[in-house]
Amino acid sequence: MTERCNRSLGTMLITAYGKCGLPDAAVSVFRGLRRQNEQGWTAAIVAMAENGRHRDAFNLFRDMILDGSPPLPVTYTEVLKACGEMGGLKEAKLVHFCLATSRWRSHLPVVNQLIDTYDKVGGIEEA
């Protein structure tokens, strides 16, 4: 199989494990990919966030940024939801900083989630 095909199958498996309530298995598959791309990172972040592992979702986002992978709009919305759920104002500000320098800074669903997150973490004036 080609590497592109392996990444696509890996991303589908990450998503499936996440939806089945197995976020650790999802991240294990992600870590096993030879090269991670933004779809794989996002699938792993979503798997953690959707299973209540909000801090882990944020940590994966941070690792994604440090890796130089550009977040997708859904990456931003999911990690912002995670920040809201864990009450992470400092974390939300970091995501906001990353968003402000991205091409998605005016993407309506992301902006709406940013406002909702700041409302949840007590930083609505930041929005």
Percent pLDDT > 70 in the chain is 94
pLDDT tens by residue, 113-127: 999 999 999 877 765
**What CATH code would you report for 3-126?**
1.25.40.10
Contact 39, 72 (CB under 8 A): yes
The residue extents of the domains of the chain are 3-126
Residue 123 has which token pair?
Answer: 């930083």
The structure's pTM equals 0.91
pLDDT tens string 30-67: 999 888 899 999 999 999 999 999 999 999 999 999 99
Collect all residues with Cβ–Cβ distance below 8 Å to 17 and sequence separation of at least 6. 23, 25, 26, 29, 47
The total of other beta-carbon atoms located within 10 Å of residue 55's CB is: 15
What count of other Cβ atoms lies within 10 Å of the Cβ of residue 93?
Answer: 15
